[in-house]
Structure 1
Amino acid sequence: MIRKHQGLLNIINCIMDAGLVFCAYLLAVWLRLGVLANAQLSMHELLEPQYMVGALLYACALCILYIVLRLYGSFRFQNFWQEIFTLATANAIGTMAIGTGLYLFRMVDFSRLTLAMFYVISTALVISKRVVLRSILEHYRSLGYNTRTLLVVGGGEHACGYMQHIRENPQYGYRLLGYVATAPTDKTEETYLGDYDVFHQKMTTRTVDQVVFCMRRTETETMGAMIAACGRYGAKASVIPDYNEFIPSRPTVELAGDYKLVNVRRTPDKGPVWAFVKRTMDIVGVVIGLVLASPIMLITAIAVKRCDGGPAIFGQERVGKNGKTFRMYKFRSMYQDAEDRLAELQKYNEVDGPAFKMANDPRITPVGRFIRKTSIDELPQLINILKGDMSIVGPRPPIPREVEQYTDWDWGRLAVKPGLTCYWQISGRSNLSFEEWMKLDLKYVEEQGFLTDIKILFKTIGVVLRGEGAY
């Protein structure tokens, strides 16, 4: 069984990282003192104690840091970009810390350029190893090798959805034995193994690596005994609670005596560092965007103006962070009487909830239809971002009359600055229901961060070029 060998695999993985970091240091020294200095630095000279000691210290220190950060183990579900970010950050911290220590104690002579090259090379090598290793493991898992046997407890909506997700992702490397529940369900075609009374029999007679509990609240009185059985027979126990939709992507747990408090909702304040980074990204992005898009914006303004003689820019009151209103700018894509005609078109609304969407909206001008399809109409919002009313990445700013119909749950999307693009834009846009839209915005509120924003930006480019879901 895989769990019996996981410790050995972790040790091998750590040794490989140590070897790569060791080689990275020697390569950085060779590049700096040999290639860049136009000097002859032989392999024999690299094996001198002053270089070997430095390489060994860096290798040991970084690997200890990787262990502390729990970068070794089974990461079948872990986000790969998050893993890369953690590795790059760990390398930066470790390199600066050890470099400072070696400099202060004069243990090794090196230049800052050597240190910089070592960071780049070691990070690239360690990440490349992880990419290759992950690709190999996912390939073999999808072929049925290196698998873990999985037993699901429960037959409700979450249990069926989880089993379908596992079935659709063979690269996770799980072999689903089936599920036990009070009764079989027609919502899944997976094997029904029996009711909860046969759970212990299945644990003793079958090889089970992991058990996932997806029981309803009224069924959890037997969960304690089942979890104890998992411990007895060496199976990992995981729980998908009945209130799964309320749990954020990175929940935190606090202890109050013997009670564990799972924090499911809090003010999404990521701190001053993230606020500074995000604002810097916005300003840099806006400056680059205005320079690159200025010819397109000029041509668009002329085309909109000539279409019906009205103003090129349309300003509308929108709701921003924490309910604060501001004036948002767009290239006008509708005729000048569009707002007056909205009431008569409400019966043709194609989306649920307070928002209004209509694929063949008669208020849209010929030029407007094109700039909406290509998202050019949103370019003036670069000014809103420069003013600080909006951000490049964030939930779309709603109209006040829509916010008036928000539930307390929907209001959570206003906890961050609105933006040009978000999960909604890259997941179907106008093709999604209002409820799905809100869930995606709340997902961003919980997951906001540097890597999340970069991922959304790159995916947005592809969506805009394909014109998906825009009308």
Structure 2
Amino acid sequence: MSQPRTSLNGAERQSAWQRDYVQRLVAIDAAAAAFAAFAGFFARFSDVPADTGSVPGQAVVVCAVLLPVLWVFAMYVFRTYEHRFLGVGSEEFQRVLRASLAVVAFVASTSWAFKLDIARGYVVVALPLAALLTLIGRYATRKKLHESRVRGEAVQTVVAVGHRPAVVGMIRQLHRASYHGMRIVGACVPGGPGTPEEDAELTALGIPVLGAIEDVSKATKEVDADVVAVTGCPELDGPALRRLGWDLESTRADLVVAPALTEVIGPRVAIRPVCGLPLLHVERPELQGIRRLAKSTVDRLAALSALLVFSPVLLGIAALVRLDSKGPVLFRQERVGKDGKPFTMYKFRSMVVDAEKRLIDLRETDEGNGVLFKMKVDPRITRVGRVLRRYSLDELPQLLNVLNGTMSLVGPRPPLQHEVDAYGFDMRRRLLVKPGLTGLWQINGRSDLDWDESVRLDVRYVENWSFMFDFMILWKTAGAVLRGRGAY
């Protein structure tokens, strides 16, 4: 009888799923390039008679045969198969795009230098198609990996190092995003295991205290961890952190450090060596200037186009709302926008007309996040309104807000005035940008989010805005709406 999978040690399990994952990516990349090569050939030359001599012979055949090899080699050179870039984040896709551009440049320069007869139409079809298919294939493979990680497979085990509050915060954040594939199996805290009261939060989360800060290397070997994550630990200054790295060289664990600066990610952060010091350089957020003007222009053009395209749907929903219950088709409510300025937000009415009066009798049944009232089965919601909320169709009239410039397609959730009155300093960062029709709150659970998590997501968006970030959120919104998680 063969040994069960669980008999493998941590290193074997880790290398096994990573090896299998990379092999799948190589096969997908090669298949994408091969399909694109032949698709380009037939798209360009299928209507050319074979006896005309117009079809480049050897050059096109060689290109079609060698493109998959060249494609995979370019992906390797641009490090798209490195484990640290796979599974999460946009770095993998950015590297794929850079590798694709490199192949285009290589084919163009080679054909010019050696005077190869490669049809431009063939190149224009094949190479962009190869890039598109590669991105689609990698995205689908990543989604399958995320599903596996939610089931507890293909994960990296982590020893968290730091003070208890920081470690607890990291554990909760990783639990919320299990698809990242990092599972904390133990913690090393100053002083080691404490009293039951001191370790109560860690115990409640199922995380044992393995030792003190000085015991990290020993604890890592004991649990055979894949990663050591340091967070909120001033005791581990530069020299101490360097020595910890040396100690971990006798293990297979990677060392990662979560800086005190949180919610700032992506291109805003870069390591810049100065006089031997690895300085963490933080760029200013892109809240003003030409990019902000471009975002506003794109928003308004997209909103106008959507209103024109979906006008039959909007009219149909309006008729259903009118027929289902008495009252106006649109629900108008004052919200707070950019720089704290109030504006009127539009939605399709999904509740009875006296919903606000009935709210007084329902306060004791609140299932919301402590600030906003929510009920999974709210008796004030109409029959049509329940369907509209399930698929976020009630929010389509907010396209009018985007068109008039009071909202954006993507941004923080539009707050009520009583929420803003309770804002602390950090939360007021949300008011630096226009609220959005969708946002990180929309793709991460909507009404299922607690208040602190909702605020954290909005601040993260403000700190890290970019066109790529907006595109990612819009892409994920469709899936979030279809799943309907948190929509009530």
TM over 0.5: yes
Determine the C-alpha separation between the residues in 2 that align with 1:136 and 1:425.
Answer: 22
Structure 2 residue aligned with 1:404: 421
Tell me what 1:325 maps to.
342
SS in 2 for 1:389: coil
Report matched runs for 1:347-366 at 5 Å. Answer: 350=366, 355=372
Once the two structures are superposed, residues 367-393 of structure 1 have per-residue CA deviations (whole angstroms, 9 ceiling, x without a partner) of 796577455543332222222322333
CA deviation profile, 1:62-87 (whole Å, cap 9, x unmatched): 7446633x312114763277634653
CA contact (8 A) 2:296 2:405 kept: no
2:248 is the alignment partner of 1:230? yes
Q: Is the 8 A contact 1:138 1:173 kept in 2?
A: no
**What runs of 5+ residues in structure 2 fail to find an aligned partner?**
1-10, 194-198
Q: Which moved more, 1:378-387 or 1:77-86?
A: 77-86
Between the aligned partners of 1:266 and 1:232, the Cα distance in structure 2 is 40
- Residue in 2 aligned with 1:461? 482
Separation in 2, partners of 1:36, 1:225: 68
RMSD: 5.1
Which amino acid counterpart does residue 230 of structure 1 have in structure 2?
L
1:271 counterpart = 2:291: yes
Q: Do the aligned residues in 2 keep the contact of 1:252 with 1:263 (CA within 8 Å)?
A: yes
Structure 1 gaps of 5+ residues are none
Within a 5 Å distance, the mapping from 1:284-295 to structure 2 comes to 284-295=305-316
Q: Distance in 1 between matches of 2:358 and 2:35?
A: 64
Structure 2 partner of 1:159: 167
Give the deviation of 1:455 after TM superposition. 0.4
Change (3 A) 1:140 1:48: farther
Tell me how far apart the structure 2 counterparts of residues 137 and 399 of structure 1 sit (CA, whole Å). Answer: 35
Identity across aligned pairs (percent)? 23
Return the alpha-carbon distance in structure 2 between the equivalents of residues 127 and 176 of structure 1. 31
Q: Please say if residues 180 and 196 of structure 1, whose CA atoms lie closer than 8 Å, have aligned partners that are also in contact.
A: yes
The answer to whether structure 1 residue 32 and structure 2 residue 49 are counterparts is no
Q: Do residues 442 (structure 1) and 459 (structure 2) align?
A: yes
Letter in 1 for 2:473: T
> Cα deviation per residue 1:377-425 (whole Å; 9 max; x = unaligned)?
4333222222232233333322344323322211222333322233334
Q: 1:95 to 1:298 in 2, by over 3 A?
A: farther
User: Partner of 1:295: helix, strand, or coil?
Assistant: helix
Report the 3-state secondary structure (helix = DSSP H, G, I; strand = E; otherwise coil) of the residue aligned with 1:413: helix
Q: Aligned-pair distance for 1:284?
A: 3.3
AA aligned opposite 2:291: G
How do residues 21-100 of structure 1 correspond to structure 2 at under 5 angstroms? 23-24=34-35, 26-28=37-39, 30-32=41-43, 35-37=46-48, 39=50, 48-49=58-59, 51-52=61-62, 56=66, 60=70, 63-64=73-74, 67-68=77-78, 70-75=79-84, 78-79=87-88, 83-84=92-93, 87=96, 89-90=97-98, 93-94=101-102, 96-98=104-106, 100=108
Relative distance call for 1:347 and 1:173 in structure 2 (3 A) is: closer
Does the 8 A contact of 2:26 with 2:72 survive in 1? no
Contact kept? 1:28, 1:117, Cα under 8 Å = yes
TM-score (ref. length: structure 1): 0.71
- Give the counterpart letter for 1:27 in structure 2: F
Q: Which amino acid in 1 is paired with 2:167? A: A
Question: Structure 1 counterpart of 2:315, which letter?
Answer: S
1:110 match: 119
Q: How many residues align?
A: 454
Alignment partner, residue 300 of structure 1: 321
The alignment partner of 1:71 has SS state of: coil
User: For residues 233-288 of structure 1, what are the alpha-carbon distances to aligned partners after superposition, in whole Å with 9 as ceiling and x for unaligned?
Assistant: 664211234x4655446650364653613539734569366666555544433332
- Give TM-score, length-normalised by structure 2: 0.69
Task: State the partner residue of 2:137.
Answer: 128
After superposition, the C-alpha distances for 1:178-237 in whole angstroms (9 at most, x for unaligned) are 443322234144454433333455578886653222353356584442233234666421
Partner of 2:257: 239
1:413 counterpart residue number = 430
